[in-house]
Amino acid sequence: MKLTKFGHACVRLEKDGCRLVIDPGGLTDPGALDGADAVLVTHEHFDHFSEEVLRRAAAERPGLRIWTNASVAERLDGLGTQVVTTGDGDAFSVAGFDIRVHGTWHAVIHPDVPRIPNIGFLVDESLFHPGDALTVPGTPVDTLLLPVHAPWSTVGDLIDYVREVAPHDAYAVHDGALNDIGTAMVEGFLGERGPGVPARYHRLAPGSSVAVKPVSST
C-alpha cells in the first residue's frame, strides 16, 4: 500500500490501482483527489472537510463514494448514493480496501467548547487514521497516522497514546500549523531522543510517499 502525505491531515492510499483519500480539507491541495475512487472523512472541521471540494469531485467522478459520519453527510445533502453514513463499529469494503470504524467523538478542546462527532478509520486491519481524537482501536495497528499538533492535546498525551496503541510505525499528520521549530520539538519527544515510544516516528513532507504494509508481511 502506498501512503502519500498531503496538506495537514490528509493522506492518500493506493493499492492495486485504486485510490482512497482520507480527510481532504481546506488546508489540502485539491489535487489529492485526482483519480480518487473513494473518500473517508472523519469529521466536519474545515481542516478535514471541504464541502466545495468534495461536491466538485463528486460531480466530476460519478463513481466516487464518500464515507463519513452523519453530521458531514448532512452537509453533503443532495449527492444521493455517492455519500454513505457510517459510525463506530461498522465495517465495509470500498475501492479494494477493508475499513473498520472506531470512535464517536472529537477530543475535548475545553468544557465550554461543544464536542462534535468524529470517527477514525482502520484500513486493511493495518493503518489507522483517528481524525481529531486519540481513539484506541483495541486491535493491533501497524501504521498509526498520529495527529501531532492540535489545541486539544499535549506532547505528553501523544507519548501516552502511541504507547497505548503500540504501532510499529507512527507517521505525523495534523501538523499544518507547526513551523520548523515546532516540528523539531515534537520529533525530539517522539523520536529516539524522547522518553520512549514503541514505534518508529516519521514525518513525510507534503507530496511525499512511502510504501507501508503489515508487519507480518515484512
Q: Tell me the pLDDT tens digit for each residue of 188-208.
A: 999 888 999 999 999 999 999
Average pLDDT over the chain reads 96
Q: Tell me the pLDDT tens digit for each residue of 58-87.
A: 999 999 999 999 999 999 999 999 999 999
pLDDT interval class at 215 (50, 70, 90)? confident
Give the helix ranges, DSSP H, for 30-179: 51-60, 70-75, 155-165
Q: Let me know if residue 45 belongs to a domain.
A: yes
pLDDT at 7 > cutoff 90? no
Residues 6+ apart with CB under 8 A from 148: 158, 172, 173, 174, 175, 178, 186, 190, 203
Q: Let me know if residue 128 belongs to a domain.
A: yes
Residues 6+ apart with CB under 8 A from 47: 8, 9, 25, 26, 27, 174, 176
Q: Let me know if residue 212 belongs to a domain.
A: no
CA distance 156 to 138: 20
CA distance 122 to 144: 9
Q: Let me know if residue 207 belongs to a domain.
A: no
Q: Let me know if residue 217 belongs to a domain.
A: no
Q: How many Cβ atoms are within 10 Å of 152's Cβ, its own excluded?
A: 16
pLDDT interval class at 218 (50, 70, 90)? very low
Section 4-11 average pLDDT: 95
Q: Let me know if residue 213 belongs to a domain.
A: no
Section 5-16 average pLDDT: 96
> For the domain that residue 110 is a member of, what is the CATH number?
3.60.15.10
Q: Let me know if residue 196 belongs to a domain.
A: yes
pLDDT of residue 192: 87
Q: Tell me the pLDDT tens digit for each residue of 122-175.
A: 999 999 999 999 999 999 999 999 999 999 999 999 999 999 999 999 999 999
Q: Which residue has the higher pLDDT, 215 or 105?
A: 105
pLDDT at 211 > cutoff 80? yes
Q: Tell me the pLDDT tens digit for each residue of 83-114.
A: 999 999 999 999 999 999 999 999 999 999 99
pLDDT of residue 193: 86
Q: Let me know if residue 17 belongs to a domain.
A: yes
pLDDT of residue 216: 57
Section 25-48 average pLDDT: 96
Give the total number of structural domains in the chain: 1
Burial class (CB in 10 A: 0-12, 13-18, 19+), 45: middle
Which residue range forms the structural domain that includes residue 189? 2-202
pLDDT at 52 > cutoff 60? yes
Of 119, 120, 129, 116, the residue nearest 174 (C-alpha): 129
